[in-house]
Amino acid sequence: MVNVNRTPIIGGNWKMHHTRALARELLSSLRAALEEFNQIDVVICPPAPWLGDAIDTLESSSILVGVQNVHSASEGAFTGEQSAAMLVGSVDYVIVGHSERRLMFGETDRQVNEKLRSVIDAGLEPILAIGESQDERESGETENVLRRQLFTGFDSIKMLPTGMVIAYEPVWAIGTGMSASPEMVQMAAVTVRNLVAERFDEITANSIRIQYGGSVNSTNASEFAEQPDIDGALVGGASLNADDFSAICEIFAHGR
């Protein structure tokens, strides 16, 4: 479903990396490189302790700030957690359901749904991460896994925010240096759009933005940017290097 009206979006997921000094240096370099980069949306998701630095350093630039996780409640006795409601006015995007949260912290599809609803209710922009494991792909289960993750993830949600972001991230491609083939990702993106059309409608399916995530770098990014249903990338490792990350942004800005 080619739709030139979908604005590509690149996310930088720093995970739990960088000292404060390195984080500040990276933020300044990103600002210098992408300050007036308006062709596409660029979102930086630093570790929570460097959120204030990111907000300050990127203020009034075109670079947006996001977080890597939230709790589903709006407030309460949840030591160490942060809510979407608390982030309103400070950040724009929230990653929900990253595979590292699902696999290492036992997040279920049901919890992902609760978090997604809390983000939408707070008026923030979600980046919903989904994707199959190597075993699931090899046993032909990819579509069923995506269906389960999306349909449970969307439970009780009547409408998706316009241009909502879904990150298709096959688990076996994350942080492994082994990216999926562009054709495989394009096929998965079409599957995701069809599932969204089935659950909501064609207009919604055509408007959602689908990122690919999994070992994207400045060398392989153009192959993904050329695919009609891939509208950006969620970048882990390569987002820790300002030159690489900026190059990926440039490629997606000129990829269509």
Catalytic site positions = 98, 169
Shortest gap between Cβ of 173 and ligand PEP (angstroms)? 6
The nearest distance, CB 232 to ligand PEP, in angstroms, is: 12
Please report how close the Cβ of residue 48 comes to ligand PEP at its closest, in angstroms. 16
Contact pattern from residue 197 through residue 236 relative to ligand PEP, giving x for each residue in contact according to CB under 6 A and a dash for the rest: ----------------xxxx-----------------xxx
Residue type, 68: Q
**List of residues 6+ apart from 203 with CB closer than 8 A:** none
Shortest reach from residue 154's CB to ligand PEP, in Å: 21
Q: Which is nearer to ligand PEP, 85 or 175 (CB)?
A: 175
Residues 6+ apart with CB under 8 A from 116: 96, 97, 126, 128, 153, 154, 157
Residue 12 token pair: 């930088």
Tokens encoding 187 = 């096929």
What amino acid is encoded at 12 in this protein?
G
Looking at residues 131 to 190 of the shown chain, list those that interact with ligand PEP (rule: CB under 6 A): 169, 174-175
C-alpha distances out from residue 236 to 4, 13, 14, Å: 26, 5, 6
How many Cα atoms occupy the beta-carbon half-sphere of 80 within 13 Å?
0
* For ligand PEP, the closer CB: 47 or 194: 47
CB-wise, 3 or 70, nearer to ligand PEP?
A: 70
Neighbours of 134 (CB within 10 A): 13
Binding mask 1-30 for ligand PEP (x = CB under 6 A): ------------x-----------------
d(Cα 119, Cα 124) in Å, to the nearest integer? 5
Q: Which is nearer to ligand PEP, 128 or 174 (CB)?
A: 174
Q: Cβ atoms within 10 A of the Cβ of 159, count?
A: 10
State in angstroms the smallest separation of the CB of 18 from ligand PEP: 14
- Measuring CA to CA, which residue among 209, 195, 225, 229 is closest to residue 1? 229
Looking at the Cβ atoms of 40 and 73, the one nearer to ligand PEP is 40
The residues of the shown chain that bind ligand PEP, judged by CB under 6 A, are 13, 169, 174-175, 213-216, 234-238
